Structure 1
């Protein structure tokens, strides 16, 4: 099938490319195919981001049930092609620049008509894997009495299949061999943790289940190149728990500590944490559990997932604990909201480019003078971009700004945590570090001074 004939149904993907100009044909990867189910109208292509599938493009199915994706300079690795009738199993493919794939989607199965050596090897494995994966997710008729013999017969064959993986791409060969072990464990744990009329005892499990449990499990971050990697991490933590059922429920503060101790890689620990957030249904329980493991969340995506869930537990009501944030002052020292606990804290979120912010500054300066000697600190938080830090320092010095001034490096944690869409924004926190108001009156309004004085009297 010629590419130009499929152009009406091609979905060009917005992938980051290393090329400054048009992507050369040699760097373009193309996936073409057909869906055998006439009811399917749309096909979705997923990339993998930190162990989860991330939708990157959709393609309409034309009158001949055909679809196509053009992927400019793809990041080499696993991708997933999905139709609405895949029943939980997507077609897994391997893409690199220049690949040309042609496949047929048939519900939970796919057939590769043509493609790279990597994809031929991958489909061979996926066809083998169906022996243990499809019955693992069948909760209607498959029992452990019927499944365990299939699993036990399957496991010894894998060593021979690994030896047969010998494409010209050594990186792929190593990844697929690693993935084979991951896939087997995924299937075995999925079977055990699916709802069924009857479950086996630990003693009835085949020996394969015993070798799944390991100290510092998943020490290889390649697991996060798998679109089901995050789910596998969650499955393992559940499998570990039911295997070694604790006599007593762990303390809230120890839950995530115990979880990350299961794994041997910091990136995998971070995903385990973000996968487990919904176990905490109050803000207090969540923040208590997060305190000893917060350092593992280092990527923007990990932090965003945590903050998004944290927000679902908060309504920013008066009396709720503040969400901590931090910045650096003009001398480079780190200052956080938590550092100021014990005082009433008046926060001013502003920027040097913000006209309304500047209009409030004379009123703020007057208010600071009126509050001098009282248990109040004024904390200015600049959301100027990192590139404008020197401009901010010069502005603070030139304007002789009072209080404590810190630099937040852009539209950062403070704006995300407190859902700040526009500035200036004033917030007030009490001496205990709790919220008084996250949308307080401006200094030009007498109500702000009254609010501060009222908070001071409450102690």
Structure 2
């Protein structure tokens, strides 16, 4: 009976001594050659923002109650990505002069952040390969495939949060898809949108002055095309510069063609903006037709294109009106 009581008491003692799961993460570290007096940990999605003071010797420490997930660390100049969970006790060291190359993590629950740090270095090296997008297709695919395989091998035997692993596998699949699209687009542009190639065409776009206009209607003059939208602030920022360029080359052998890619719901906004901002040149509405933009592999606006009088490409990604190089280009063509 005494033995049974003793064993029971011993079991209770073990349970009492077992450390409970902390509802916070402890984050500490030391920064050599620090960039500021603080580091900031944030996650806008969680509406989380924590500023931690960095001592004169570069050390810092604080506790945070967090939701499991990814956080951004900012040292006043550069960023790093962390993965934080309550209960973790992570220590970070780095030299701010060689930020990515020197980040190290130790402690409890550091593995995910260390994984991210290594991934960042590997990805930086891959994107730093200036020859990657110019490789023959089989060599390109082989190099990207090897990068992905090496990434996935790092999961083997690693003690990582299952949610984190799922996210990273989705992330690497997305990166592979992104790189492949970049490569395919560059090869397409080199083949189909090179200087001297026939330009893709747009047909029967609505002309604000009345009727419709097709690219073929503009043959005989140089054509400077502006792809824009009323909701695009960078597009609107170019308007004053475009007006000045149009005025400088008024009555010259060039047409300035602005093509609105607004959705139908913004059609009246487009019409009104032409009046309010006194837009000149040829003002066209694409009527939600994306064929011309897709043919030029447009991924963002504003986008400017310059064609010669025969409808051949001079520059498929021409300088913006705000760029002095545009006037230099026009003058070199004796427009």
Same fold (TM over 0.5): no
Which TM-score band (shorter chain)?
Answer: 0.3 to 0.5
Task: Considering fraction of residues, name the structure with more strand.
Answer: 2
Please give the TM-score of this superposition, normalised by the length of structure 1: 0.33
Q: Which structure ranks higher in relative contact order (CA pairs < 8 Å, sequence separation ≥ 6)?
A: 2
